[in-house]
Structure 1
Amino acid sequence: MKILSIVGARPNFVKIAPLHRAFSAYPDIESKIVHTGQHHDFIMSGIFFKQLQIPRPDHFLGINGGTHTQQTAQIMLAFEEVVLRENPDLIIVVGDVNSTLACALVAVKMHIPVAHVEAGLRSGDRTMPEEINRIMTDSISDLLFVTEQSAVQNLLRENVPSCKIHLAGNVMIDSLVYCQQYADNLNIDSKLGVPVNGYMVITMHRPANVDSIAGLTKLLEVLKSLTVIRPVIFPVHPRTLKNIHSFQLFNDFSVVQNLKLIPALGYLEFISLVKNAALVITDSGGVQEETTYLQIPCITLRSNTERPVTILEGTNHLLPDFTVDSVMQLTREILSNKTKNSNIPPCWDGNAAVRIASILREKYINS
């Protein structure tokens, strides 16, 4: 059985790594990786392959930039050539980026089964391109591997047959479990000169928060207030840094006392930083899951989340339409331990990829 696994953006690499390892354990599975190039620079791509011990991609499409439509179309055209050359038995797509939908569409049109890993997540916000990618990919996939029970219910509401849906767990947590010891040895907090549990981490990259001068100014005011309480480490996403410079705000950010602006981190460095933080503030989907597993409190500055289990069972707190005052109030409550107890969700145990590989073999090889 030949499987092509698709990676495009930074979160995909974290999800594909355990799947490739699980597939490679079986001599009757040939696992190949296709990198679309959606994230192509070293810090957003190459370093992740190195740190997650993913082999060099078998195919690199080199598609990046352009509008969502242009990027999706270009990936489809390039990927079609790969599929014709490889003639795979199954195509695996993960997450919700443009590469996910583009490659799933090509597979379906070429009558090749598609498995979507991390299926069924819904934010309810169709203004987010990721939400459209999720809905469309799920509607055309043959197998849907989900991370939490809410995703099962979402798919059933959308009339997906239950026989296609498998609650397998979270492959992102598989990578976290696999890499945790390596991350522990980095001691990134001491290298940055901050005490264990004595600092906060913030990450921001969503358009609503960083694509306008109003959004960045609001973020700046939040940071000024937070740094009065604790030092704040801010690994700046390339998109965010570009916008900070274009709106001529870099000097305003850089002079904030107790704020450490650092370049975007590799996977191991970021996990090391988060694991020893007192609190993480983010607008990322994956960070909500990583903090839940690590049992680190998290505030998500978004109007919605497609990962409700991180709130219902995990450490995440959703803060829509946030203000400086609302962020500060919740931060003080968390740091004074006046917030909820939390648990690690079911099947977030480091074995999701093994379960997925077993289900695929049972369906396509042993049946």
Structure 2
Amino acid sequence: MRKICVVLTARASYSRVKTVLTAIHAHPSLLLQIVVTGSALIDRFGNILPQLEAENLPVSAIIPNLLDVENDTASAKTTGLAVVELATFFVNHRPDVVVTVADRFETIATAIAAVNMNIPLAHIQGGEITGNIDDRIRNSISQLADLHFTATESARARLIHMGLSPNKVYHTGCPSIDLVYQHKSLDFNLYETYGGVGSKPDLNAPYLMVLQHPVTTEAAHSKWQIDNTLRAMAALNMPVLWFWPNADSGTAGTARGIRAFREQYPGLPFHFFKNMESAHFMQLLRKCACFVGNSSVGIRECSALGVPAVNIGSRQNGRERGPNVTDCIPETEIIISAVRRQLAHGPFAPVTLYGKGNAGEQIARQLATIPFILKKHLLTT
């Protein structure tokens, strides 16, 4: 039986690979090991432990390592601590392959520890393009990894162009899209289940969902950027469900902007949440009139749902997108105009750019059967 270790470093990592975890756990030839670390353990950034417990998924280790995200050394030191602790886990539990997810700064620690211990490394969501430091992290992990599971055909082609062996790069689709097909109808009491802060707008009326993270290469502008988005949402005078940002450089500025706005405008139909279980988030997303912000949710999940999305700023520059996305700079009047255009258009036809709903099963099947051969060199032409 192959031991598959998946390292989860943030709430986004978990939602991206939830169906991979369940498929590995259910596979008769695979033994799942889950390591939880980074911001995935912090309540204000979306502690995923309760969700893992609810899904009966096994947690093999908990590694607290996240330092103050506003310190200039935080990401580097957080990564260093993770390398040390992951190396200890790997030597004690001897996984046959280690899986790392996407492109956040914490994920490269998994790659460094595994590669230096001669453990085969699988990377999910390599080959994509975005607009900040994530590109450098993602591409570095891709060069270190032995196996690759890409979300799009273009991402696969890009990795092969980078010199990676075609027979080690698999186009499976994005596992987060699996959730779109799984969670079509759920009933729950939103405000009783998740609490949060703010008024409780009636969601029978058209509503907006907002998730805006700081841009790591523009951290000094994070408060100005969120202030402009907040003003734009207020001007639209619609119910808004707002979600807390990731643990990144610039998060403090984003958080200050949100808190000050809440105090200044308590009467607006806005409700703010720290985190939400993916099935419930997907239900809300399916019914919302427009998704606003700079999360890849607007590009991945919304494209599969046909939900209009307004992508603000540079964070997703270069990422493949469907016709449901319109881009704008982070200035209030321009955001207002972009949202109004999307509302006037209404729902788009869903597209399968990021998958057809079976990525988790495909990845588990490959992990159970393909040879784990450590990469020795890049292809040459």
TM over 0.5: yes
Percent of aligned positions with the same letter in both sequences?
Answer: 18
Change (3 A) 1:71 1:288: same
2:101 to 94, 111, 136: 94
C-alpha displacement at 1:217, in angstroms?
2.9
User: Is it true that 1:318 corresponds to 2:327 in the alignment?
Assistant: yes
User: Is it true that 1:116 corresponds to 2:87 in the alignment?
Assistant: no
Change (3 A) 1:99 1:242: closer
- Preserved contact between residue 178 and residue 358 of structure 2 (Cα < 8 Å): yes
Which deviates the most, 171-180 or 65-74? Answer: 171-180
Change (3 A) 1:210 1:204: farther
User: Is it true that 1:69 corresponds to 2:76 in the alignment?
Assistant: yes
- Preserved contact between residue 201 and residue 271 of structure 2 (Cα < 8 Å): no
Amino acid across the alignment from 2:142: D
Change (3 A) 1:343 1:314: farther
**For residue 136 of structure 2, what is the aligned residue in structure 1?**
132
Deviations along 1:174-223, whole A, 9 cap, x unmatched? 23433444xx2126399933243511111112244886442233233222
Matches within 5 A, 1:110-259: 110-123=117-130, 125=131, 128-181=132-185, 184-186=186-188, 188=190, 192-196=200-204, 198-207=206-215, 208=218, 212-227=222-237, 230-237=238-245, 242-243=252-253, 246=256, 250-251=260-261, 254-255=264-265, 257-259=267-269
Q: Take 1:290 and 1:338, find their aligned partners in 2: how far apart are those partners?
A: 16
- Preserved contact between residue 122 and residue 145 of structure 2 (Cα < 8 Å): yes
**For residue 49 of structure 1, what is the aligned residue in structure 2?**
52
SS, match of residue 121 in structure 1: coil
C-alpha displacement at 1:324, in angstroms?
2.1
**For residue 4 of structure 1, what is the aligned residue in structure 2?**
5
**For residue 304 of structure 2, what is the aligned residue in structure 1?**
293
Change (3 A) 1:250 1:244: farther
How much is the aligned-residue C-alpha RMSD, in angstroms? 2.9
Q: Take 1:23 and 1:34, find their aligned partners in 2: how far apart are those partners?
A: 14
- Preserved contact between residue 314 and residue 343 of structure 1 (Cα < 8 Å): no
SS, match of residue 204 in structure 2: coil
Q: TM-score, normalised by structure 1?
A: 0.85
Amino acid across the alignment from 1:302: G
**For residue 277 of structure 1, what is the aligned residue in structure 2?**
288
Change (3 A) 1:87 1:290: same
Q: Take 2:303 and 2:166, find their aligned partners in 1: how far apart are those partners?
A: 28
- Preserved contact between residue 201 and residue 274 of structure 1 (Cα < 8 Å): yes
Change (3 A) 1:249 1:28: closer
User: Is it true that 1:18 corresponds to 2:19 in the alignment?
Assistant: yes
Change (3 A) 1:12 1:323: same
Deviations along 1:150-183, whole A, 9 cap, x unmatched? 21232133222222211101111223433444xx
Q: Take 1:92 and 1:102, find their aligned partners in 2: how far apart are those partners?
A: 12
Unaligned runs of 5+ in 2: 69-73, 194-199, 373-381
C-alpha displacement at 1:93, in angstroms?
0.9
Which deviates the most, 70-79 or 257-266? Answer: 257-266
Which deviates the most, 190-199 or 146-155? Answer: 190-199
Change (3 A) 1:308 1:116: same
Q: TM-score, normalised by structure 2?
A: 0.83
Change (3 A) 1:337 1:171: same
Amino acid across the alignment from 1:33: I
* More relative contact order, 1 or 2 (CA 8 Å, 6+ apart): 2
Q: Take 1:275 and 1:25, find their aligned partners in 2: how far apart are those partners?
A: 28
Change (3 A) 1:29 1:280: same
Deviations along 1:307-351, whole A, 9 cap, x unmatched? 743x2x3522222x2322222222222212279x44322562221
